[in-house]
Amino acid sequence: MRKTINLPIPSKKRAHRFIVVIVFTLISLPPSFSQSKEKLQLELRKAKMIARLKPDSAYLQLRHITESTETSDKTGIVAEALQEMGKIAYHLGSYPQALADYLESYQLYRTSNNQKKQAELLSDIGILYYYNRQPTKAFESYRKALEIYKSIQYAEGIANTYGKLGHLYEKQAQYDSALNYQNIALDIFLDSGNKKGLAKIHENLGSIYEDLERYEEATFHFTEALRLYTEKNDDLSKIEVINNIGDMYRKTGKYKQALIESHKALHLAQTLNEAYQIESAYRDIGKAHHLLGRDDSAYHYMEKSRRYARQLYSKENSQQTSFYQVLYDLEEKEDRITQLNNIKKISIVTATAVLVITFLLFRFQTSKIRNERSIRQKNNDLLQTQNKLIKAELAHKQLAEQALKKELEAKSHELSSKTLYVINKNQFLESLRNDLTTLLKEDKRDNKKQLKRILVQINQSFNNDKYWEDFRIAVEKVHGDFYQRLQKRSPNLKSNDLRLVALLRMNFSTEEIATLLGISIDSARVARYRLRKKLHLDKNENLTTFLQSL
């Protein structure tokens, strides 16, 4: 049963006390303000230092900074903490949370009119949209950032944004535009001597030339990028460059060298806990194994890649990202309306005090009936929230059921593979046995003893108990407690009968069963007849249909 929430109605005495506290707080500043601000700046620096090795601890420390900072003079610290929180969430693959933190930080930088930081955040948001497969929104964020950088004449910011725009054009196969933007960025970074910026542009140019199959030029740019990143000790950026070099080897038929590079990238990505790069490395390793004909290994790594991709690009993530974008758009519109209406530029402290006092006076004049209506509305909202949670739980269960179905399909594939292997093996042994039998009929006494011994070994191979035990276990995994239900109906079935039952259950023909068991077709028919008798089936009842329905 759901509980009804009853909210208390504030008394006049309590309300008057609350007004006094609010007014006193608004007109007074704590004497320890400067010291508190310095302490928060120190905590912020510490959080940045541990962000790579202990991202969860750093995130909690940054959240503490944002929650414990309330004065407008500390807006810059809060905005910077939120920006760092967004970076941590992004590197851990939590894109909706990263977007929420970035947008909140962006609003604070707008409040303080810090244009450089606004452009930097818009650029970070563009990267986030790109990795979340929303290129249109990425273009919009980059163009806004470029406008701000041009207005404040910040050359390195302009170059960085040109590089990112060129990267997006590359992903849309607009290579002329991509090369144009990258070359503009390259010239700016060469003039400024920014090695990290140069490295990124070389990486982007290498990627474009790789797509155009101009591999010599691509190799030159990737090598330059790797060299510059190594000089700057930027292991995070090295991951993608190493992955690209692996792609080059794979595309040019050097599959073993491609594997070496992809494993290097995987090791670095795992060390830095980079979810997106781990997924990419697993996918590249799987491709290389497939090209080398190692399909088992290829399947193993592609499955790992698929699991990471599912986490990164889940439907829930996309929905939450869209939700935060809607909130951001609404807040931006409200900010514009507020700026137009606040012509007299009333101070924040005075406006807050007036709003609080007006709200309390309004509450004093409301009737008991309106209070009860408000409480009922809150209860209805709670019920709606609970219903949404129930629906989310049902959706989670459906996903779990789908995962179980996929696992069952994989088990069926494994069982079919094992059976196909036995068919091929037994066909070969049958052919070999026939050839040996023909040789035995020839009157050559020296060979007879040795040929008889080989025939005995072949016959033993047809009935390898260990293989059949493995086969029985595989059948049980796919078909559940099928053998138990069968034994309850006919407890006198022997191991040979159970083998025949398993093959009939899988809908094999009499000829295929004879090959698998290493017997003649007539013997297989006799075995079917005896099994029918043991199962007490009617003459009109089909044996295979019965077993498949059991």
Average confidence (pLDDT) over 479-490: 80
Domains 154-233 and 236-311 share a fold: yes
- For 118-132, 194-208, 327-341, 385-399, which range has the lowest pLDDT when averaged over its residues? 327-341
Q: How many whole angstroms separate alpha carbon 79 and alpha carbon 447?
A: 90
Q: Which two tokens stand for residue 84?
A: 């760092």
* 409 has a pLDDT exceeding 70: no
Q: How many whole angstroms separate alpha carbon 108 and alpha carbon 338?
A: 15
Region of 345 on the Ramachandran plot (φ > 0 left; ψ -120 to 50 alpha; else beta): left
Q: How many whole angstroms separate alpha carbon 179 and alpha carbon 197?
A: 16
* pLDDT of 33: 42
The angle at the Cα of 311, spanning 49 to 315, to the nearest 5 degrees, equals 125
Q: How many whole angstroms separate alpha carbon 65 and alpha carbon 39?
A: 10
Average confidence (pLDDT) over 82-100: 84
* 13 has a pLDDT exceeding 60: no
* 319 has a pLDDT exceeding 60: no
Element (H, E) at 243: helix 235-251
Q: Per CATH, is 236-311 categorized as 1.25.40.10?
A: yes
Rg (CA), the chain: 36
Q: How many whole angstroms separate alpha carbon 308 and alpha carbon 294?
A: 22
Q: Where along the chain do its domains lie?
A: 154-233, 236-311, 416-549
With a CB cutoff of 8 Å and minimum separation 6, the contacts of 495 are 465, 468
Average confidence (pLDDT) over 176-201: 91
Q: How many whole angstroms separate alpha carbon 85 and alpha carbon 48?
A: 10
Average confidence (pLDDT) over 104-115: 89
According to CATH, the topology of domain 154-233 is: 1.25.40
Query: What are the counts of helices (DSSP H) followed by strands (DSSP E) for the chain?
Result: 25, 0
* pLDDT of 266: 92
Q: Could you give the 3-state DSSP secondary structure of residue 407? A: helix
Nearest Cα residue to 197 out of 157, 240, 154, 139:
157
Task: Judge whether 274 and 239 are in contact, CB under 8 Å.
Answer: yes
Q: Which two tokens stand for residue 147?
A: 């406008």
Average confidence (pLDDT) over 473-501: 80
Q: How many whole angstroms separate alpha carbon 321 and alpha carbon 325?
A: 6
* pLDDT of 267: 92
What 8-state DSSP symbol labels residue 205?
Answer: H
Nearest Cα residue to 106 out of 95, 119, 87:
119
* pLDDT of 119: 92
- For 57-71, 236-250, 410-424, 465-479, which range has the lowest pLDDT when averaged over its residues? 410-424
The mean of the pLDDT values for the chain is 79
**Positions of E strands within 238-345:** none
Confidence of residue 444 (pLDDT cuts 50, 70, 90): low
Q: How many whole angstroms separate alpha carbon 169 and alpha carbon 182?
A: 10
* pLDDT of 30: 45
Q: How many residues does the chain have?
A: 550
Q: How many whole angstroms separate alpha carbon 32 and alpha carbon 71?
A: 13
Confidence of residue 125 (pLDDT cuts 50, 70, 90): very high
Task: Judge whether 47 and 62 are in contact, CB under 8 Å.
Answer: yes
Give buried/exposed letters for 323-336 (b at 16+ CB in 10 A, else e): ebbeebeeeeeeee
Element (H, E) at 329: helix 315-341
pTM: 0.46
Q: How many whole angstroms separate alpha carbon 248 and alpha carbon 207?
A: 10
Give 164's Cβ-side CA count (13 Å radius).
Answer: 27
Confidence of residue 70 (pLDDT cuts 50, 70, 90): low
Q: How many whole angstroms separate alpha carbon 134 and alpha carbon 15?
A: 49
Task: Judge whether 445 and 501 are in contact, CB under 8 Å.
Answer: no
* 304 has a pLDDT exceeding 70: yes
Task: Judge whether 168 and 137 are in contact, CB under 8 Å.
Answer: no
Q: How many whole angstroms separate alpha carbon 307 and alpha carbon 233?
A: 30
What are the backbone dihedrals phi and psi of residue 521, each rounded to the nearest 5 degrees, phi first? Answer: -65, -40
Q: How many whole angstroms separate alpha carbon 385 and alpha carbon 68?
A: 29
* 61 has a pLDDT exceeding 50: yes
More confident position, 522 or 315: 522
Looking up tokens 């909706």 gives 96
